[in-house]
A and B are shown apart, each in its own frame.
Chain A
Amino acid sequence: MEHVSPTRMNLLAKKGQLKIALQGANLLKKKRDALMEEFIKEARSLADSRDQLNRDLQKGISVLIVALAVDGFHKIRSTSFACQRDLYVKLTEKNIWGIKVAEVEKIQVKRRVYDRGYSLVSTSSRIDEVALSFEEIVEQVIDIAPTEVKIKRLGEEIQKTSRRISALEQKLIPSLGKDIGFIQEVLSEREREDIYRLKKIKKKRGKE
């Protein structure tokens, strides 16, 4: 505060800054609210998807155990060679309040039983079921992954915005308020001094 020159120019500048800071804080609050709304919406849908994924994963594992028990590890291993493939996902960028998040186009991972690569004669329906279950799981993971990243980004952005709001509300705005108060105090003191001086001069001139 010691560095603030108590001038009328500075007072106007500080007032301008305060106005902008208040507007900024207000805007950031609105942004935070919007982000929170988006965050809660996404978090709810993510929680549902996660529950579904966990349930499907459990089902998949239980079928896998049956397949391992009856067909053996070797058959599952051998079948997995035939099933292998690369999966390509298309990413698009979306902007939410300045945050860039990736959106993944839904892809079909599930395949027809004869499209997996292995012959139907050489595998049991247990192995088919395992393949199908895990294809569904991969589909869900691809679906959920961008939402998870989005939520993470939204969370980080909410934190960042909250920190900015706090900085404005706790530090900048009170500091500008003090500066303005200080300048106003000095200026009004000066004004009083000037009036007093003028009165003195007027009195002196009157006596003369």
Chain B
Amino acid sequence: MSNYEYLNTRIRAMYSQLLANEYYRELLSLKEVSLLIDSLLNSPYAVDLSNALATYSGHVAINKALRENLSKNVQKLLSYAEDKAAYWIKLLLSKWDAYNIKTIIRGKLRHQFPEDILYGVVPMANLKDVHLKELAEQEDIGESIDLLTTWGYSLDSRIRKAVIDFYNDQESIHIVEIENLIDRAYYKDLVERLKEKDKNAIFVEQIVRSEIDYLNILTSFKLVYDKSRPKESELFFIRGGYLKESLFESILACQTLEEASSLLEGTEFFSSVEKGVLYFAKSGRLYVMERFLEGVLIKKACSMFRVDPLSISVAIGYLWKKYNEVINLRFIAWGIKYGMPANIIKGELIFV
């Protein structure tokens, strides 16, 4: 049995350390990265930033500190969680494991040096630095997969076969097919683990299903924007979300994003997508629209913090708010470094 009272008390203490929206507005008025560093040295990021400044400088140091801080906070959260609570948190973080495994496979398939592969990983979930280093340093992809299996991450036999086939004969299979197989297998496994019907499983399921919807909408929008329709478009659809595959197919049949957006009426994404379309019409860039979609997911996840004080929803809310904070700060740092106007930076931030 998990002690949610203890866990959530600790999370609330960590939550109080998160930055307020007013603080972002203060940061937006800064014109130089050095001033941003001064300001962050008086924030909960002080220790990590001081450490990063010993090796790096400017926005690179901020980037390093943010990553380190996020990783530390996640580990801290995991150290407070027990039994089932820890299981749910690890499940929520497992997307980073999937991402890291995909990065290792990509790197290995393209014969990258281990140190180059390690630049692309984020040791935030169950696979830590040492694990990822070990995986990256294996002689070939087969050995990396075997090692993953011994650690309990058994890859589907089809994925294993596809990876080995690609590794041995790069012409016969396209790398995107492997990636699609990994994504679909990961989300299938994730959804299967959410079959329990206790309230915590329901909270996790709500956020996972919304995330799958977000990914499916984004994928379909990408294909509409690209004016392309792959032969086996169903391979790009991830099952397990609220949205049906038929909607995905209907979106793919659209000629414009405006048309595609109108099909989302009745979903939780519709009102934001409607706004996003207006901004998209001005800029012509899909990522403007994506930020609106991301906003829906982030706001939904963050709002879970207040749903049930004795459940995993508090951890979900905290994790997403922390993640959003790191992205916001990173954007401010890069924006200031490259002289972006404050209103542009502000437009990219998500306030929750």
Give the residue name and chain of the B residue nearest to A116 (CB).
B176
Q: How many residues of B contact A (CB 8 A)?
A: 50
The dominant DSSP class at the A interface is helix
Residues of A with C-beta under 8 A to B309 = none
Selected from A72, A117, A128, the residue in CB contact (under 8 A) with B330 is A72
Query: By the criterion CB–CB under 8 Å, are B110 and A124 in contact?
Result: no
B228 interface hit (Cβ, 8 Å):
yes
B49 interface hit (Cβ, 8 Å):
no
Give the residue name and chain of the A residue nearest to B220 (CB).
A120
Query: By the criterion CB–CB under 8 Å, are B287 and A121 in contact?
Result: no
Considering the chains assembled together, what is the distance between the CA atoms of A116 and B106 in angstroms? 12
Residues of A with C-beta under 8 A to B287 = 63, 66-67, 124-126, 129
Given known A69-B330, A119-B176, contact A81–B122 (CB-CB < 8 A) = no
Given known A69-B335, A120-B222, contact A114–B182 (CB-CB < 8 A) = no
Residues of B with C-beta under 8 A to A65 = 334, 338, 340
B199 interface hit (Cβ, 8 Å):
no
A82 interface hit (Cβ, 8 Å):
yes
**Contact string against A for B residues 76-114, beta-carbon threshold 8 Å, 1 for contact and 0 otherwise:** 000000000000000000000001001100110110100
Q: How far is the CB of A167 from chain B (nearest CB, A)?
A: 54
Give the residue name and chain of the B residue nearest to A76 (CB).
B120
Q: How far is the CB of A117 from chain B (nearest CB, A)?
A: 4
Query: By the criterion CB–CB under 8 Å, are A81 and B176 in contact?
Result: no
Query: By the criterion CB–CB under 8 Å, are B286 and A118 in contact?
Result: no
Considering the chains assembled together, what is the distance between the CA atoms of A112 and B229 in angstroms? 9
Residues of A with C-beta under 8 A to B348 = 66, 69-70
Q: How far is the CB of A48 from chain B (nearest CB, A)?
A: 23
Number of A-B contacts (CB under 8 A): 126
Q: How far is the CB of A63 from chain B (nearest CB, A)?
A: 8
Residues of B with C-beta under 8 A to A114 = 176, 223, 226, 228, 230, 236
Given known A82-B106, A121-B238, A129-B286, contact A113–B119 (CB-CB < 8 A) = no
Within 8 A of A (CB), among B152-179: 174-176, 179
Residues of B with C-beta under 8 A to A113 = 222-223, 225-226, 228
Q: How far is the CB of A56 from chain B (nearest CB, A)?
A: 14
Query: By the criterion CB–CB under 8 Å, are A128 and B286 in contact?
Result: yes
A84 interface hit (Cβ, 8 Å):
yes
Query: By the criterion CB–CB under 8 Å, are A118 and B119 in contact?
Result: no
Selected from A78, A116, A129, the residue in CB contact (under 8 A) with B285 is A129
Residues of B with C-beta under 8 A to A62 = 338
Give the residue name and chain of the A residue nearest to B122 (CB).
A74
Selected from B175, B182, B290, the residue in CB contact (under 8 A) with A126 is B290
A115 interface hit (Cβ, 8 Å):
yes
A203 interface hit (Cβ, 8 Å):
no
Considering the chains assembled together, what is the distance between the CA atoms of A118 and B219 in angstroms? 12
B121 interface hit (Cβ, 8 Å):
yes
Residues of B with C-beta under 8 A to A84 = 110
Residues of A with C-beta under 8 A to B67 = 72
Q: How far is the CB of B137 from chain A (nearest CB, A)?
A: 16
Query: By the criterion CB–CB under 8 Å, are A125 and B286 in contact?
Result: yes
Query: By the criterion CB–CB under 8 Å, are B228 and A78 in contact?
Result: no
**Contact string against B for A residues 55-71, beta-carbon threshold 8 Å, 1 for contact and 0 otherwise:** 00000001101111110
Considering the chains assembled together, what is the distance between the CA atoms of A138 and B99 in angstroms? 28
Considering the chains assembled together, what is the distance between the CA atoms of A75 and B176 in angstroms? 16
B48 interface hit (Cβ, 8 Å):
no
Query: By the criterion CB–CB under 8 Å, are A122 and B179 in contact?
Result: yes
Query: By the criterion CB–CB under 8 Å, are B179 and A112 in contact?
Result: no
A97 interface hit (Cβ, 8 Å):
no
**Contact string against B for A residues 118-154, beta-carbon threshold 8 Å, 1 for contact and 0 otherwise:** 1111101110110000000000000000000000000
Residues of B with C-beta under 8 A to A74 = 103, 119-122
B272 interface hit (Cβ, 8 Å):
no
Residues of A with C-beta under 8 A to B180 = 119, 121
Residues of B with C-beta under 8 A to A128 = 222, 226, 286
Query: By the criterion CB–CB under 8 Å, are A122 and B99 in contact?
Result: yes
Selected from B63, B107, B218, the residue in CB contact (under 8 A) with A73 is B63
Q: How far is the CB of B232 from chain A (nearest CB, A)?
A: 10
B331 interface hit (Cβ, 8 Å):
yes
Within 8 A of A (CB), among B316-352: 327, 330-331, 333-335, 338, 340, 348
Give the residue name and chain of the B residue nearest to A77 (CB).
B120
Considering the chains assembled together, what is the distance between the CA atoms of A81 and B106 in angstroms? 6
Residues of B with C-beta under 8 A to A126 = 287, 290
Considering the chains assembled together, what is the distance between the CA atoms of A110 and B238 in angstroms? 26
- 9 more A-B contacts (CB under 8 A) besides A77-B116, A78-B99, A125-B285? A70-B348, A78-B103, A78-B120, A78-B121, A117-B176, A120-B219, A121-B180, A124-B287, A125-B286
Closest 5 CB pairs of A and B: A119-B179, A78-B120, A69-B334, A81-B106, A77-B120
Q: Can you list 20 A-B contacts (CB < 8 A)?
A: A62-B338, A69-B333, A70-B291, A72-B122, A73-B119, A78-B107, A81-B120, A112-B228, A113-B228, A114-B223, A117-B174, A118-B106, A118-B176, A119-B236, A120-B218, A124-B218, A125-B222, A125-B225, A125-B290, A128-B226
